[in-house]
Structure 1
Amino acid sequence: MVVILKQKAKQEEIEILTRQIEAKGVSVSLVVGSDVNILGLVGDTSTIDPSVIEANRIVERVMKVQEPFKKANRMFHPEDTIVDINGAKIGGKKIAMIAGPCSVESEEQITEIAKEVKKIGANFLRGGAFKPRTSPYAFQGMKYEGLELLKKARENTGLPIVTELMSPYDIETFVENVDVIQVGARNMQNFDLLKELGKTNKPILLKRGLSATIEEWLMSAEYIMAGGNENVILCERGIRTFENYTRNTLDLSAVPAVKKLSHLPIVIDPSHSAGKYWMVEPLAKAAVAVGADGLIIEVHNDPANALCDGPQSIKPSKFAKLMEELRVIAAAVGREI
């Protein structure tokens, strides 16, 4: 339930109304917007009579929220959220570019790629230290050593690092060492992990599950936000369909759908979506055109010999050409890179 307040409502009147509503057993969040202020009610609102609240002279109207997610709902937060990571932002007019290899392989590899993508225009460095793989025999990442190498690459370039967290036991280590914690598709509904991340204030990149609906995805974001951490970034990385030509099926319709339902920023991962390097360019362009707030692209200096996901990685030279073309598309839709 959302209570829309009149523009001339005084602070003391808002506080009195808030206490009256909280006495009904729900929590109330005040959202101050540029055009309107609202009270967002979270909890069991079945005992609350909207007509009683609307009788208050500072209330414009009361609206019921049909969706089960509240804090992630645009009705609770009409303006777009912009997540600030050490001065680099995701959300707003500027489109964020997150680039780097699927997996950290060596100090030389991650440092050189970091330097390359920064020179080309990337704002963030991605790289997997812990790698969830379908096969238990596949390369699982360099783990804690990989984290240390990511930190060295950050020291050399200044790029904030984005890497995937696998276990709740590593949260403290990630909070201390990582700039953006990625929750992978397989962990999107690992609710114990999401609850623990909600207790931190570290930005979370939440990837959509393999077969998750948009509502299920936003409910996973709600788990994090309900714990107090509202620094959530959504990532569409392709979903599982009957089609097997591509690795996954990129759901570009998720971008406008999420922007209608939620205030959270959304980025697109064209690399995992297709699983084919030559599809990264057209999918990235389409993502910018449809309104994505960022792209996360796998860039590797030697894709043919990559330890993980080489077939979907592009070389730095290809990334540079792509960035030039994306800037033109971004400008055409009123954005910038």
Structure 2
Amino acid sequence: VITGPCSIETEEQIRAVVAHCVENDIKMMRGGVFKPRSSPYAFRGLGLDGLKLWHEIASEAGIKIVTEVMQTSQIEEMYPYVDVYQVGARNSQNFNLLDELGKVDKAVMIKRGISGTIEELLQSAEYVFSGGNEKLILCERGIRTYERASRNTLDLNAIPILKAKSHLPVIVDPSHGIGIRAYVPQMALAGVMSGADGIIYESHAVPEKAYSDGQQTLDFAQSARLASWIRESFAMRKGFDLL
């Protein structure tokens, strides 16, 4: 289970989310300090200073950090403060970035492109792998289709296919996958039952006040319930011979 806000906003917010993770035995926290936004006027993150503050607070609590790297120049400066480099959907075919991440000895989570195919996601992973970094995680986060009832279309078909085509762990992001808070838990549990190795979702103390993606973010009470349900679902899945 990986959870946290879309954007790292303030020290108070970091401490609240870290405390939530500790209380619910969640070992990894997601969040963005460099944010690729559709509008140049939207909040774009606290940058490296925010990451340093986050790392200081999270490391004291034993929480690992998953955060997005957007360009090659950020890799080295982020290195001391990050546990998993996230390659976002918009950068999943940024081959220069993927090449450079192949040279680091930390895990890299690659999200599927906004309209990317399963094969393209695997080829993106191959770029990192061919550079020598075998610490790879694949993430299904929904793809853009003609359907407008949800933010994206979460492609659960991809989970067993990716598991069959590679040896890599596969996780599901239901927050971006459906983009509607009320349905994130259902899609998270569907991801587990589809064979995913983990779930990454967004949480915030007060989602309505989040700087970004509040409409798809769970509050702490909802997040605590979901984390418990996810663990129960993994335990239940162990009994299914087909999985």
Q: TM-score, normalised by structure 1?
A: 0.69
Q: What's the CA shift for 1:210?
A: 0.5
Deviation sequence 1:219-250 (CA, Å, 0-9, x none):
00000000000101000100000001111100
Question: Which residue of structure 1 aligns with residue 198 of structure 2?
Answer: 294
Deviation digits for residues 93-132 of structure 1, max 9, x if unmatched? xxxx111111111111111111112211212011110000
Q: In the alignment, which residue of structure 2 is the partner of 1:72?
A: none
- Map 1:163-312 to 2 at 5 A: 163-312=67-216
User: Aligned partners of 1:328 and 1:151: how far apart in 2?
Assistant: 30
- Shift of residue 279, structure 1, vs aligned partner: 1.0
Inter-partner Cα distance in structure 2 for 1:202 and 1:323: 25
Aligned counterparts of 1:113 and 1:262: Cα–Cα separation in 2: 33
Other-structure match for 2:65: 161
Tell me if the contact between 1:199 and 1:229 (Cα under 8 Å) persists in the aligned partners.
Answer: yes
For each residue in 1:54-89, what CA deviation from the matched residue of structure 2 results, as whole angstroms up to 9, or x when unmatched? xxxxxxxxxxxxxxxxxxxxxxxxxxxxxxxxxxxx
DSSP 3-state at the match of 1:314: coil
CA distance in 2, matches of 1:153, 1:247: 32
Question: Number of residues paired by the alignment?
Answer: 239
Deviation at 1:321, TM superposition (A): 1.3
1:328 is aligned to 2:232: yes
| Code of the aligned partner of 1:314 | L
Larger strand share, 1 or 2: 1
2:44 is equivalent to residue 151 of structure 1: no
Root-mean-square deviation (CA, aligned residues, Å) is: 1.1
1:126 aligned to 2:30?
yes
Give the Cα separation in 1 of the matches to 2:181 and 2:48.
Answer: 28
* Aligned residue in 1 for 2:7: 103
Residue identity (%): 49
- Distance in 2 (alpha carbons) for counterparts of 1:156 and 1:116: 14
The TM-score normalised by the length of structure 2 is 0.96
**Residues 138-162 of structure 1: per-residue CA shift (max 9 Å, x gap):** 1101111221122122133111100
Deviating above 4 A after TM superposition, structure 1's stretches of 4 or more consecutive aligned residues are: none
Alpha-carbon distance in structure 2 between the residues aligned to 1:303 and 1:153: 21
Contact persistence 1:128–1:146 (CA under 8 A): no
**Unaligned stretches of 5+ residues in structure 1:** 1-96
Question: Following the alignment from structure 2 to structure 1, what is the Cα–Cα distance between the partners of residues 229 and 103?
Answer: 40
Distance 2:132 2:230 in 1: 35
What is the alpha-carbon distance in structure 1 between the residues aligned to residue 60 and residue 8 of structure 2?
15
Amino acid at match of 2:215: P
Give 1:307 deviation, angstroms: 0.4
SS of aligned partner of 1:99? strand
- Greater gyration radius: 1
**CA distance in structure 1 between the aligned counterparts of 2:22 and 2:139, rounded to whole angstroms:** 21
